[in-house]
A and B are shown apart, each in its own frame.
Chain A
């Protein structure tokens, strides 16, 4: 048993629903009690989809348990087929149905439905959402792919985008554009937008572009084994990664790497004078492994931040994330316990968090600005406008969304100048984020701040005051000082000066 207050990932059948919802012509019959239909609103409310997810829930109740829940499942299957006429059906159990052991796959197989029926084995008590999505996509490939001729022109599949993904729709559009500029055709995008009949044709592509390893890597490996399709390893988030990605694609497609970079603004924005204030800002990164690894590179190389800590919630990515952290001289935080993440952030006192919706809340509590780089996300992370994370436009979007929670360069100086002004002061926060006042960490109580030192500390701009307080206290503790006076404050400042 493990106590969870909030979770980063849902159960594996929610991963399967993300795949089914992303596709067309596929229906999922899920053996589940009534409460599990909550999953629908993830899509209709959080993602604002205008259609219900293509899922039929059997809705068994306590009184059915003694009787025939298997028959209930078969009835639901039959009616779902009659009503929706899908090209293929996936069937499976949610956590409760797993316990009653009805074997949806076996039951559906005996019904003689005239379409492929694909059973999903998603162990609810061992695995989570990303596994569910990845496994579902893999099973769709295994059951539906057939041997087909390669396309005459060089082409690729785009693998991994699902419903409820972080900016997947816009990422795909951006990457398709880059591929088109190189003369590489897209055979199938899957799961998002694909039909079962498209999945059948995955083998026609010359290679695969893997955008989301969390949901697509197992399928990419399978397709490599079955059709010999190589796949791209770089996730094109940020300028450097997008370049690397283009080089990879060029090699796989045997075409020259070329792309129209005229719309790429990040490099100049980063070099511009106002960005000087970004230098060495300490950031903490947390989210799914792929987004965190890509964001770490952008943070360090393209924004000039210092990566003060990073980690991911999906254990499947623990190894590469740990390796990357070691390269940065850090210890990765691999956990799905949000309280641990909160503790890590509180201890590090970074100046910016790049995280998920969870970290946005942690940041709000601790008074640290936060930008979202990964699922799980809020309804506001599905913007109406085009806002990819990948490719050139994605890089522009990263610059805007990461920098906006911060106080900008000139603004920093003005805040210091008008510190005593009643409207333009500490609590006002960045001018474009109403009410984002910083909350200072409380004094630990182990070391006593003398009144003069406390007063001097108030003169430090609020966005670095938390760090100043923490540094001074650890400086004092290390030296066995019981009190902090003004000199201690400045000695600590000199000690920690970069």
Chain B
């Protein structure tokens, strides 16, 4: 793969839109963060809508008691600020008494708490003093007026960076909440390359925190972590830009950036990656039979769209008609943009206009959120709900085939049904 000769769309014009967004807000990222950080509790300070959203986004409601909840603001809280802080302290005390296993508590800002300017940073400081050393209290915003969907993870991780210790810094930090199985695979490959002192942010438990400093280099595993990258840079750590580890080529390119940076020999690199690369190629080739020469249209959802479109066009032979993203961070997805050819890149959303474009384009496959999928199916379009791309293990070599299969399955289903 040559980066120089790739056509690329780093400088292609971007259609910027603002109108109705059919995208989750940042609160939704709690759904996977609470599974990832097993001693953390996420307390949204918000309205009944926030509580209802979390429940609906957890969707099928396959739950026991979750590690998240909502402190629902009521009339009396809106009347005076002092009240709201007292009430919050009381609810937090109640919660921590009920759940002594909780070591990290995140106060999550929502649209209403931000509009009434409830100072959650101050509340977090105060509550940390009350509940230290057993519980660490942090705050971040997941509000829909500030963040979309996966950006909630970004603001959460960014809030964790300042409390990481200075001492014994890690050589390399892989940033982004990945399913444990994927995290283990990627960190395993990195260690096999000979990079020993590697850690993942977020750590699975609070007591697994590691140091960070000017000697630290970091690589992102998710493309939506702009604020976290800035926070790490402020701590002196160095960002290693790379294509994201989707598919065989993406994963190889991602690992190669690390190999180059840490002086891994080409022989060692081939030795470590040859077998999983071959497996990934084989797995993707199978789905490629279904996907090749088909067209795809992305509605904006998770900020994974650019790297995914890169994977589907370069490795699966698809044609990207429009690639929508809620926010385009060129600094982070630049390496993927260099490899991508797309009819149109769009940022933000005006959903009705975008639906008009999609209907006119008649793509073979449309990637969209849950609110749009069934209505588009009804109109005869084949859809892939974007949510699975966030909730399913899709990174790295061993998942390359699964990732391609997620896109192939709706197309195959359409062919199978005689209705």
Contact = CB atoms under 8 A, between A and B. Distances in A.
Contacts of A99: 78, 112, 115-116
A128 B47 CA distance: 11
Contacts of A10: 48-49, 52, 56
B378 interface: yes
B77 to A, nearest CB: 6
A259 interface: no
B71 A3 contact: yes
B390 interface: no
Interface in A2-54: 2-7, 9-11, 13-14, 33-42, 44-46, 48-52
Interface stretch (B8-16, B139-147, B175-183, B260-268): B139-147
A76 interface: yes
B374 A45 contact: yes
B374 A44 contact: yes
A50 B145 contact: no
A126 B146 CA distance: 25
A65 B91 contact: no
Given A38-B24, A361-B61, A96 B375 contact: no
B375 A51 contact: yes
Interface in A37-86: 37-42, 44-46, 48-52, 56-62, 65, 76, 79, 83
B375 A50 contact: yes
B73 interface: yes
B372 A52 contact: yes
B371 A357 contact: no
A35 B70 contact: no
Contact of B20 (A39, A76, A128): A76
Contacts of A36: 49, 53, 144
B22 interface: yes
Given A1-B71, A3-B95, A37-B20, A61 B55 contact: no
Contacts of B75: 123, 125-126
B374 A59 contact: no
Contact of A65 (B112, B115, B372, B375): B115
Interface string B130-150: 000000000000011110100
Interface string B369-396: 1111111011000000000000000000
Nearest to B27: A35
A83 B352 contact: yes
Taking residues whose C-beta sits less than 8 angstroms from the other chain, chain B's interface range is 35 or more
B22 A40 contact: yes
B55 A6 contact: yes
Contacts of A123: 75
Nearest to A75: B19
Contact of B25 (A33, A41, A51): A33
Contacts of B43: 3
Interface string A372-387: 0000001100000000
B20 A41 contact: no
B374 A61 contact: no
Nearest to A38: B53
Given A38-B24, A125-B74, A95 B145 contact: no
B111 interface: yes
Contact of A4 (B65, B70, B78, B374): B70
A361 B60 CA distance: 11
B306 to A, nearest CB: 20
B94 interface: yes
B146 A62 contact: yes
Interface in A117-151: 123-126, 128
A379 B60 CA distance: 7
A365 interface: yes
A51 B378 CA distance: 8
Given A36-B49, A40-B22, 12 more contacts: A2-B72, A5-B66, A7-B55, A10-B49, A11-B49, A14-B52, A38-B57, A39-B56, A40-B371, A45-B371, A51-B375, A96-B145
13 contacts: A1-B84, A1-B88, A5-B68, A6-B51, A37-B21, A38-B53, A41-B371, A44-B370, A48-B374, A52-B371, A61-B146, A96-B49, A357-B61
